[in-house]
């Protein structure tokens, strides 16, 4: 069972939005795109890099790329680089979940023994794959990114010949070094997600929601983007309005 994500608007200046669950080589692709077109921030200062569900681009021509990988390899990558606790907190906060987070310093062996996806990979992928949205999304698998670079660049509105300038393929740290027990634990958590990802292959363009549902999807995403901001604005400014109202009330209540 998945949760309902919040949404947000993507600034109109962004022409290419790249998103991932984390641990799938996202920064390398984003750095490359950011040097050649207007894209979301590779350092995630705009909070879009790992956004857990389809947002609403204000640029109707915005191209959206979802970069993913084998979920076990993504998990290994986050733990190896010490990002697992931070990523868990970020994804769970945006999903609005209240389950325990990955503690700082927790090892991948300890994580695998819990048997639960505290990194939110399953829900992240489910929202991006199945939530209604008014735009196409290119699902790109990191392992075969180099094989599909011309198609990825063409989808992003760039010259496919720029693939010759892309960084060379690096050898990833995989799960080969894990103990059999830890590997069994990670497979128990992520084997179902592996099966859901497999039919997408290395490059798959998932079309926008069609027909009237497309308009409804736009309205739904817009409402999810506006309401949290409106709620924050009211709570933030309430004391500002409350003080003068309290003063008026006290003045009117004084005995004459």
Q: Per-residue pLDDT tens for 133-191?
A: 999 999 999 999 999 999 999 999 999 999 999 999 877 666 668 999 999 999 999 99
Q: Do residues 122 and 193 lie in contact, with contact meaning Cβ atoms separated by under 8 Å? A: yes
Q: Do residues 66 and 58 lie in contact, with contact meaning Cβ atoms separated by under 8 Å? A: no
For residue 212, the model assigns a pLDDT of 82
Question: Which pTM was predicted?
Answer: 0.84
Question: Residue 70 above 60 pLDDT?
Answer: yes
pLDDT band for position 7 (50/70/90)? low
For residue 256, the model assigns a pLDDT of 47
For residue 122, the model assigns a pLDDT of 94
Question: Residue 41 above 90 pLDDT?
Answer: yes
Reduced to 3 states (helix: H, G, I; strand: E, B; else coil), residue 204 is strand
Interior/surface letters 70-90, b for 16+ CB within 10 angstroms, e for the rest: bbbbbbbbbbeeebbbebbeb
Going by C-alpha positions, the residue among 164, 140, 114 that lies closest to residue 20 is: 140
53 Cβ neighbours under 8 A, 6+ residues apart: 5, 6, 7, 124, 127, 128, 131
Start-end of H helices in the chain: 26-34, 71-80, 84-95, 108-114, 121-130, 149-155, 180-197, 212-253
For residue 235, the model assigns a pLDDT of 47
Q: Do residues 144 and 197 lie in contact, with contact meaning Cβ atoms separated by under 8 Å? A: no
pLDDT band for position 5 (50/70/90)? low
Q: Considering only CA atoms, give the Rg of the chain.
A: 22
Q: Which residue has the tokens 């920064």?
A: 27
170 Cβ neighbours under 8 A, 6+ residues apart: none
pLDDT digits (tens, 9 = 90+) for 208-226: 998 888 888 888 888 777 7
Question: Residue 237 above 90 pLDDT?
Answer: no
Measured between alpha carbons, how far apart are the two ends of the chain, in Å?
62
d(CA 201, CA 204): 7
């Amino acid at each position: 069972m998945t949760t309902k994500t919040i949404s947000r608007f993507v600034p109109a200046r962004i022409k290419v939005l790249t998103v991932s669950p984390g641990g799938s080589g996202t920064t390398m692709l984003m750095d490359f795109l950011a040097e050649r077109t207007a894209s979301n921030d590779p350092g995630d200062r705009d909070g879009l890099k790992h956004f857990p569900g389809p947002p609403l681009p204000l640029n109707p021509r915005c191209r959206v790329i979802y970069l993913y990988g084998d979920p076990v390899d993504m998990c290994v990558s986050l733990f190896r680089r010490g990002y697992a606790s931070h990523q868990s907190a970020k994804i769970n906060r945006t999903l609005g979940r209240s389950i325990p987070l990955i503690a700082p310093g927790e090892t991948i062996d300890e994580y695998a023994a819990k048997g639960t996806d505290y990194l939110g990979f399953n829900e992240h992928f489910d929202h991006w794959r199945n939530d209604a949205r008014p735009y196409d999304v290119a699902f790109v698998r990191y392992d075969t990114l180099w094989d599909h670079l011309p198609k990825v660049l063409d989808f992003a509105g760039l010259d496919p010949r720029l693939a010759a300038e892309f960084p060379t393929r690096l050898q990833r740290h995989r799960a080969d070094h894990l103990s059999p027990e830890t590997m069994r634990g990670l497979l128990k958590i992520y084997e179902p997600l592996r099966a859901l990802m497999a039919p997408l292959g290395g490059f798959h363009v998932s079309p926008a929601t069609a027909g009237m549902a497309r308009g409804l999807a736009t309205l739904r995403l817009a409402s999810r983007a506006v309401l949290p901001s409106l709620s924050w604005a009211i709570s933030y400014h309430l004391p500002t309005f409350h003080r003068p109202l309290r003063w008026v009330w006290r003045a009117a209540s004084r005995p004459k």
